[in-house]
Amino acid sequence: MKLTLGFSPCPNDTFIFDALVNKKIDTEGLEVEPVLEDVQTLNEWALKGKLDITKISYGVLPLIIKDYIVLNAGGALGKGVGPLFITRNDGEVKPVEEMTVAIPGEQTTAHMLFSLAYPQVRKKKFLLFSEIEDAILNGQVDAGVIIHENRFTYQDKGLLKLADLGEYWETTTSNPIPLGGIVIRRNIDPVLQRRADSLIRRSLEYSFAHYPAVTDYVKQHAQEMSEAVMRQHIDLYVNNYSLDLGSDGRSAVKKFLDIYGNLHQTSVNGTELFLENNL
């Protein structure tokens, strides 16, 4: 059986899926066809039901939950891992409500967290996460929300942190931040769903067992990133929640969806969100 598997080229995702994609573990007859794209593209594809298994931002989950169910393994949750709100460090900072702010995709968790912290901002520009710093520096926007490896390097470019949106979430809700999850189509046989979930966990266990080595697969997709930044990326976004959401992780996702529902006057109550944990 072959299933399409979408994830980003960022080190945290390639670290998780390396052993599965490259058959460093026994895949029990399951073949995966990897499709690597930025998370906003994966969000848009999830809205169309394009892939069998895919990484998504939790910000898009309410819009796809009728077609996909959340797996226990492979996601990104944690504390101190949230998006940062930044601007130019030139001594002139506009009031936030007057700013044009770059966001890394409309259906992203970053957008949801920013909207929660700054509901008064109306001028937003949706860009690829890798374009946001340059957009701030060249004056295309006044500020932006950054994710991924940019949070390690923004100061080197003369940029200033205005707020840590993750800290805002943690202070407001006392929950870890649900950034991205792995979902699988509901119409796939439940036995195969559970096998995929188990294999993702085993793939990550294999990578953890060989860490801090950074494999060629991770390096290949990390472009010009140094190994030190790759490890920072992995250390920040890959943790025990990536092995298994657990009760804390599930509670955080449910809280996120409750807040989303309040903001958008919608609800996913009555829908099974998570694959039954077979561990």
Is 57 assigned a ligand-binding role in the annotation? yes
55 is in an annotated binding site: yes
110 belongs to an annotated ligand binding site: yes
Q: 40 and 105 in contact (C-beta within 8 Å)? A: yes
Distance between terminal CA atoms of the chain? 22
The alpha helices in the chain, defined as continuous H runs, are 11-21, 39-47, 61-64, 109-117, 132-137, 150-153, 165-173, 190-210, 216-221, 227-237, 240-243, 246-264
Torsion angles phi and psi, residue 20, rounded to 5: -70, -50
Q: Is 148 a catalytic residue?
A: yes
**Nearest-angstrom CA–CA distance, 126 and 123:** 10
Pair 162, 36: CB distance under 8 Å: no
Which entry of 148, 210, 221, 233 is annotated as an active-site residue? 148
Is 56 annotated among the ligand-binding residues? yes
Tell me the two tokens of residue 194. 């559970």
Q: What's at 168, amino acid-wise?
A: Y
Tokens 């701030």, residue located: 136
Tell the burial category of 11 from Cβ atoms under 10 Å away from its Cβ (0-12, 13-18, 19+): buried
Say which amino acid occupies 85.
F
Annotated binding residues for substrate, written as ranges, equal 55-57, 109-110
Annotated binding residues, written as ranges, equal 55-57, 109-110
Give the catalytic positions in this structure: 148
